[in-house]
Amino acid sequence: MKYIIVVPDGMADWPIEELGNKTPLEAAHTTNMDHIAKNGFSGLVQTIPDKMAPGSDVGNLSLLGYDPTKNFTGRAPLEAANLNIELADDEVVFRCNLVTVYNQKMVDYSAGHITDDEAAILIKAINDGLNLPNVRFYPGKSYRHLLVIKTPLHKDLAKVKSTPPHDIIDQKIEKYLPSGKGTAALLGIMERARKILEEHSVNHVRVDLKENPANMIWLWGQGTRPQLPLFTDKFGLKGSIISAVDLVNGIGRLIGLEVIKVPGITGYYDTNFAGKAEYALKSLKKKDFVYIHVEATDEAGHSGDAKMKMASIERIDREIIGTILNHFESTGDFRLLVAPDHATPVVKRTHTREPVCFAIYGKGVPRDGMESFSEKAARDKGIKFESGEAMVEYFMRRYL
């Protein structure tokens, strides 16, 4: 038996006027998702536990079969794992976004989706320019980077109040800056970095090209070293994970999944959709399980772009899910689960915590299907699982 989970990040949405009061998923042409919903087991799942923020960190832990209330120590430590950053017991790590701020207002959480090369130059300039003992910046991808601080106050810093920049688009940043014990030093780092960024030639060129400059760093998502049980110990399966996002790959590394590198995956609209399916099928020749994560739908939600979200959903349906179904339908010895980790409504441009639709299809899966794979059809079915962990444990059962 082969087990495949496909996660269109943030795919769930709300009705949008420009789409005839349909969600992007309802408006999209999704032959393959509809097929698995009609011929499988489906409904709603609560991927985000009560009192936890609706983020991709919590949502993907949940969809990998883990309880975030027990296993989550912060977003940044998960990303650090994928960059092979070993955290000591007295260290705390922050997610460090390169952002665009004008007139003290958050204009762009991604600095115009700055390129990897430009971002690496800027992060090195900050690290070298600040030259602070026990403070290290690490480049990631595009706008997503990390800051590690070694300090006796690591437990206090892990508890400071911080806000994701994609949650405060077009809002004044003052009341959302990190707050709590020890944050004076954080704010000092942010201010000194800001001066380095404003004077850097990379940003001068971006302004000349009418691109959003990376003129500030934003610190959030902090945490300490996590401890997660291995996936094979939990489910008895060997598996792999495919994502362009350090956060998701970091979770995979921590739980012992092989991180598959696929050429051309970007975490954006231009990612190699088909390549993810092709490499997933290759990995399943030796492995029992593969987890395929796609960021494009979430990026479209944050950008408020309904048509691009719909187009991304259609490509996931056609190039990933369609490819997998075409490969396995003749054998029958597979199960496929499709679910977003959370909703990212276009009208809000940030994450929300309501239950999301899911569909499970394949060998041994009972058919109680929906007419189509959509938020509305899933609501009619109601909540089938109170947690992602419960859903994945059901999905992994040898016999249903």
Q: What is the mean pLDDT of residues 330-348?
A: 94
**Average pLDDT in the 352-381 region?**
95
pLDDT for res 362: 95
Q: Which of 223, 240, 258 is the endpoint of a domain? A: 223
User: Which ranges in the chain belong to alpha helices (H)?
Assistant: 24-27, 31-38, 56-63, 68-71, 75-82, 116-130, 154-157, 183-199, 201-208, 231-235, 246-254, 273-283, 296-303, 306-315, 322-328, 375-381, 388-396
Which among 22, 41, 35, 15 is positioned nearest to 317, based on CA atoms? 35
Answer yes or no: do 199 and 347 share one domain: no
Residue 142 pLDDT: 94
Same domain, 181 and 299: no
Kindly state whether residue 104 falls inside one of the protein's structural domains.
yes
Cα–Cα nearest to 138, from 119, 113, 160, 110 = 119
pLDDT in tens, 296-322: 999 999 999 999 999 999 999 999 999
**Secondary structure (DSSP) of 301-312:** HHHT-HHHHHHH
| 346 pLDDT tier (thresholds 50, 70, 90) | very high
- Provide the number of structural domains found in the chain: 2
pLDDT digits (tens, 9 = 90+) for 43-59: 999 999 999 999 999 99
**Does residue 377 share a domain with residue 260?**
yes
Q: Could you read off the pLDDT of 15-30 as tens digits, one per residue?
A: 999 999 999 999 999 9
Q: Are residues 87 and 22 in the same domain?
A: no
Q: How far is CA 306 from the centre of its chain?
A: 19
Average the pLDDT over 318-340 and give the result: 94
- Residue 100 φ then ψ, to 5°: -115, 120
Q: From CA 302, how far away is CA 349, in angstroms rounded?
A: 4
User: What is the edge-to-edge ordering of all strands in the sheet holding 41-45?
Assistant: 258-259, 239-242, 289-294, 2-8, 334-338, 356-362, 41-45, 383-385
Full domain range(s) for residue 331: 2-72+229-396
**Residue 110 sits in the same domain as residue 255:** no
Judge residue 333's burial from the number of C-beta atoms within 10 Å of its C-beta, 0-12 exposed, 13-18 middle, 19 or more buried: exposed
Q: Residue 296 in contact with residue 317, Cβ under 8 Å?
A: no
61 part of a folded domain: yes
Q: Which of the listed residues 167, 189, 223 is the one where a domain comes to its end?
A: 223
Is it the case that residue 234 has pLDDT exceeding 70? yes
* DSSP labels, 382-399: -EEESSHHHHHHHHH-S-
The answer to whether residue 383 sits within a structural domain is yes
Question: Is residue 178 in a domain?
Answer: yes
* CATH number where 37 lies: 3.40.720.10
What radius of gyration, in Å, describes the C-alpha atoms of the chain?
Answer: 21
* In the predicted structure, residue 42 carries a pLDDT above the cut 90: yes
Same domain, 242 and 272: yes
Mean pLDDT of the chain: 96
Q: Within this chain, do residues 103 and 129 fall inside the same structural domain, yes or no?
A: yes
Verify that 200 and 250 share a domain, yes or no: no
Q: Looking at the structure, do residues 86 and 157 belong to the same domain, yes or no?
A: yes
Place of tokens 């910046």: 137
CA angle 199-189-121, nearest 5°?
Answer: 45
Domain membership of residue 43 (yes or no) is: yes
* 384 occurs within a structural domain: yes
pLDDT for residue 330 is more than 90: no
* 175 shares its domain with 200: yes
Based on the domain organization, do 244 and 324 belong to the same domain? Answer: yes
For every residue of 42-69, DSSP letters joined together read EEEE--S-TTS---HHHHHHHHTT--HH
pLDDT at residue 400, rounded to an integer = 60
Query: In whole angstroms, what is the distance from residue 154 CA to residue 77 CA?
Result: 13
Specify the pLDDT at position 399: 59
Whether residue 179 is contained in a domain is answered as: yes
Which of residues 207, 223, 239 is at a domain's end?
Answer: 223
Residues 35 and 139 in one domain: no
The percent of residues above 70 in pLDDT, for the chain, comes to 99
Domain assignment of residue 77, yes or no: no
